[in-house]
Each structure stands twice: as C-alpha cells, then as structure tokens.
C-alpha cells in the first residue's frame, strides 16, 4: 500500500484506488493505465466498486475534428464512426467505423496491442486523459459526442455493461461476491436494499454458478478463475444492459471453462436479448458464438464480415494468417499463408498497415487501400479490389 501511484505501476498488475472513509474504494484498474502519460487516474464506473459518494474522476474525452454525420445509424445499437485514438505520435485506433446491431454478437479480434481495450474504454469515455480522440459514437442512432457527462453516465454500467480483462483482479477483494452484486443493483436503483440480495442470488444462478447460496458469502480469492469470470459477468449484467462488452473474458481460462463461459454469453443473448461485443485475441473464441467478426491489425480494421463468411472465405492476408494459426476452425483446409520475415515492422506513415509483413505487396499498396464492401463483407486490401475487377 502506498500513496505513490508511480511505484505501484512499476510493481503491480492492478491497483485499487482508495479515497478517505469506509465507502471509499473508487475502483481497480490496470496499473500501467495509472501512469502511462496520465495525470489523473481513470476509475471504472461500470465495475460496481465505485462508491456512489466518491467524487467523479472521469473526464470526457476530447472529440476533436468533428466529421459530418453520415448515413443512417438508426438500425444499430452502438455505432463507432471514424474513430481515431492517438497517444503522442502513436495511434492506438485509426479511423475505425464499426457497428453492432440489437441482439447481435460482434467479435472484435486482433493481436495484442491492436487497440481492442482502448476501443472498449473509449466507447465508455474511460480512455486515458492523454488520449487524443476524434470521431463519433452513436447510441441507438443518437450522436453522443455533444452529451454532457451527466447525460452520458447512465450508459456506463446501466445501458452498457463491461467485463474487464482479468476478472479476478477486477472484483473487489474485500467484499463478498453476493454483497458486490447487491451493491450494484442498489447503485443502479434497480432494487431496494431488501430485494437486492435475493436478486443477487438469482443472478448467481443465472450465470450458472454452482451452489449459489454458499458462493454468495465467499470472497473472490475463494473462487476459481472460471467462477470469478461468471461472477464478473453477473455484475456486468446486473443492470440488464442492452449491450455487454466482454474484453478477453476467457483468456486466462482453460479450454473447457472457456467453452462454458462462451455458452453462457450466448445463452444470455438469447434469454435477455442483449447485444455482445466479444473482444479477443483468439479467432477460435469468436468462432464459437459470434454472428459477425471484425479483424483489427495495429489499430486498423482490415476485414469485417458475417462469421461464416469470414471463416470460409477470408480475404485479407492478415485474417488468413490468423486463421492458419487456428487449424481447428471451420472453413476450407488452410494453406499456409506466407509472410515476410521482418526484423523491424514499422507502422507505415502511408499505405497499407500490413505492407511490411505482406508477401502480396505491390506498388498500389503504397496507397492506403479503401474498403471493398460486398454483401456485408468489408475488406481493406488492394488484392480484393483486383478480385472484384475480375468478376
């Protein structure tokens, strides 16, 4: 324990932020986020650790360089439009446009550092304050960029639930599981105190935690990784959000437990009609339950398609590379996707983001490839344009 957050960020994976007083745990966040250029820590409101009396440390991201509103966004629950998020010279997300429909499960895939977590944080206005943000976020067709913090706040946790990466660390270590869920229910005004405990038990049953009566009184350290993940999901869905963002919900779990969590998410979609943004570095995970898949490479969306189409007919060389490393996935037999061996793989200032690793690189690739869109299958690659021309 220390008052110096810099020391924590060097030694700890996660940091609990305390204020003064008994109700003062403000939140638990990844330690590097405390100091990576930020002057003020960001606190996770959707994780129901935030005391209702704690001062808000949330800052609204600066939405600069507004772009004109584009076509209809009415059908989508959430739409991110031309979103770019930069840190200094570096872009974590570049010009991302993607949307998720009602009741849909969208898989968001990419290797580590491709901007997946930053997308989930930015969507909820929880990005680090040093982030330079441009673009727009629409909720149920409404542009939220002009919304005040007071108007935006109910989206966090209530309309959009967030399952953070690393469930065990995100749960409050000193509170019983049942109490944590009951507190969220009261915090969101969904249940009076006397009903909250009963509803918490119902949620524990809903997320298929065995022996919920006993688990209700247990602390996170007494639960396995899989049970913690289920408890975390119970917390995130307590307010019956329309959208659940699950950031790597299965990454620390072994395969059978992973399967159970994915089946649970799929069931929740069916029973509650919830949309789910499933973030993962593993195409195998999103293949299990997603309707549509978006593939990111170093902050750039390179391909997006209905899941079946993406697995049977991947078009982008990077998607093919990902698929090749998951041979058990559906689709035709995978032929090895050649890749350029590069010692240094710099992000090009112009042209295709994947060019340094791509064996198909040609002169056109010095220009950034536009999205080709066919039957809801979008791909940003000049090869794909050549295919279209041939047809």
Ligand X SMILES: Nc1ncnc2c1ncn2[C@@H]1O[C@H](COP(=O)(O)OP(=O)(O)O)[C@@H](O)[C@H]1O
Please name the residues in contact with 137: beta carbons below 8 A apart, sequence gap of 6 or more: 78, 79, 80, 81, 83, 122, 123, 143, 144, 145
Which of 307, 309, 317, 293 is CA-nearest to residue 380? Answer: 317
Cβ burial 161-173 (10 Å sphere, 16+ → b, else e): bbbbbbbbbbbbe
Contacting ligand X within 144-203 (CB under 6 A): none
CA 268 to chain centre: 17
- Is residue 365 near ligand SF4 by the rule CB under 6 A? yes
**Rounded CA gap, 146 and 219, in Å?**
41
Q: Which does 110 bind (CB under 5 to 8 A by kind): ligand X, Mg ion, ligand SF4, none?
A: ligand X
101, two tokens? 């429909």
- Is residue 352 near ligand SF4 by the rule CB under 6 A? yes
**Rounded CA gap, 128 and 38, in Å?**
6
Minimum CB distance to ligand X smaller for 73 or for 117: 117
- Is residue 302 near ligand X by the rule CB under 6 A? no
Q: Which does 91 bind (CB under 5 to 8 A by kind): ligand SF4, ligand X, Mg ion, none?
A: none
Which of 111, 107, 156 is CA-nearest to residue 275? Answer: 107
Minimum CB distance to ligand X smaller for 160 or for 187: 160
- Is residue 128 near ligand X by the rule CB under 6 A? yes
User: Measured between alpha carbons, how far is residue 336 from residues 281, 296, 358 in Å?
Assistant: 20, 20, 13
From 9, 15, 114, 117, residue interacting with Mg ion (rule: CB under 5 A)? 117
Minimum CB distance to ligand SF4 smaller for 18 or for 386: 386
Alpha helix positions (H), 188-224: 193-206, 212-215
Q: Which does 118 bind (CB under 5 to 8 A by kind): ligand X, ligand SF4, Mg ion, none?
A: ligand X
**Rounded CA gap, 215 and 226, in Å?**
13
Q: How many helices (H) and strands (E) does the chain have?
A: 14, 15
**Rounded CA gap, 355 and 138, in Å?**
32
From 361, 372, 377, 378, residue interacting with ligand SF4 (rule: CB under 6 A)? 361
- Is residue 383 near ligand SF4 by the rule CB under 6 A? yes
**Rounded CA gap, 155 and 144, in Å?**
10
Note whether 34 and 5 are within 8 A (CB).
yes
Minimum CB distance to ligand X smaller for 118 or for 233: 118
Stretch that binds Mg ion, among 112-120, 133-141, 256-264, 270-278 (CB under 5 A): 112-120
- Is residue 116 near ligand X by the rule CB under 6 A? yes
Q: Which does 286 bind (CB under 5 to 8 A by kind): ligand SF4, ligand X, Mg ion, none?
A: none
Q: Which does 358 bind (CB under 5 to 8 A by kind): Mg ion, ligand SF4, ligand X, none?
A: ligand SF4
Give residue for tokens 């299958």.
377
Contacting ligand SF4 within 264-293 (CB under 6 A): none
In three-state secondary structure terms, 121 is: helix
Q: Which does 80 bind (CB under 5 to 8 A by kind): Mg ion, ligand SF4, ligand X, none?
A: none
From 41, 61, 110, 135, residue interacting with ligand X (rule: CB under 6 A)? 110
67 DSSP 8-state letter: -
From 94, 169, 317, 322, residue interacting with ligand SF4 (rule: CB under 6 A)? 317
Minimum CB distance to ligand X smaller for 110 or for 178: 110
Minimum CB distance to ligand SF4 smaller for 176 or for 360: 360
Alpha helix positions (H), 37-137: 116-123
User: Pattern 180-219, binding to ligand SF4, x per CB under 6 A?
Assistant: ----------------------------------------
Minimum CB distance to ligand X smaller for 185 or for 302: 302
- Is residue 372 near Mg ion by the rule CB under 5 A? no
Residues near ligand SF4 (CB under 6 A):
317, 352, 354-355, 358, 360-361, 365, 369, 381-383
């Amino acid at each position: 324990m220390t008052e110096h957050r810099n020391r924590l960020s060097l030694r700890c994976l996660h940091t609990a932020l305390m204020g003064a007083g008994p109700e003062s745990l403000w939140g638990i966040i990844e330690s590097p986020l405390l100091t990576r250029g930020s002057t003020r820590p960001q606190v996770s409101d959707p994780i129901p650790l935030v005391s209702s009396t704690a001062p808000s440390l949330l800052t609204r991201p600066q939405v600069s360089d507004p772009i004109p509103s584009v076509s209809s966004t009415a059908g989508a629950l959430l739409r991110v439009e031309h979103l770019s998020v930069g840190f200094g010279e570096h872009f974590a997300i570049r010009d991302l446009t993607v949307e998720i429909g009602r009741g849909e499960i969208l898989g968001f895939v990419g290797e580590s550092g491709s901007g997946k977590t930053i997308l989930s944080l930015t969507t909820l206005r929880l990005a680090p304050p040093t982030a330079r943000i441009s673009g727009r976020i629409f909720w149920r067709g409404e542009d939220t960029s002009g919304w005040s913090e007071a108007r935006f706040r109910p989206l966090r946790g209530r309309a959009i639930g967030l399952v953070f990466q690393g469930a065990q660390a995100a749960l409050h270590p000193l509170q019983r599981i049942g109490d944590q869920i009951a507190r969220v229910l009261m915090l969101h005004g969904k249940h009076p105190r006397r009903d909250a405990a009963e509803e918490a038990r119902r949620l524990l049953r809903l997320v298929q935690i065995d022996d919920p009566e006993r688990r209700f009184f247990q602390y996170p350290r007494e639960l396995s990784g899989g049970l913690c993940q289920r408890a975390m999901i119970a917390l995130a869905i307590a307010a019956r959000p329309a959208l659940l963002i699950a950031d790597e919900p299965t990454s620390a779990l072994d395969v059978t437990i992973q399967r159970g969590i994915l089946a649970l998410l799929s069931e929740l979609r069916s029973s509650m009609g919830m949309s789910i943004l499933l973030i993962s570095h593993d195409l195998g995970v999103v293949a299990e339950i997603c309707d549509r898949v978006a593939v990111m490479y170093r902050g750039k969306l390179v391909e997006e398609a209905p899941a079946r189409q993406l697995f049977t007919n991947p078009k982008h060389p990077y998607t093919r590379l990902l698929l090749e490393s998951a041979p058990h996935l559906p689709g035709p037999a995978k032929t090895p996707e050649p890749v350029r061996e590069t010692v240094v793989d710099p992000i090009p200032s112009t042209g295709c983001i994947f060019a340094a690793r791509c064996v198909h690189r040609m002169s056109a690739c010095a220009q950034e490839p536009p999205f080709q869109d066919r039957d809801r299958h979008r791909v940003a690659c000049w090869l794909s344009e050549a295919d279209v021309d041939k047809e």
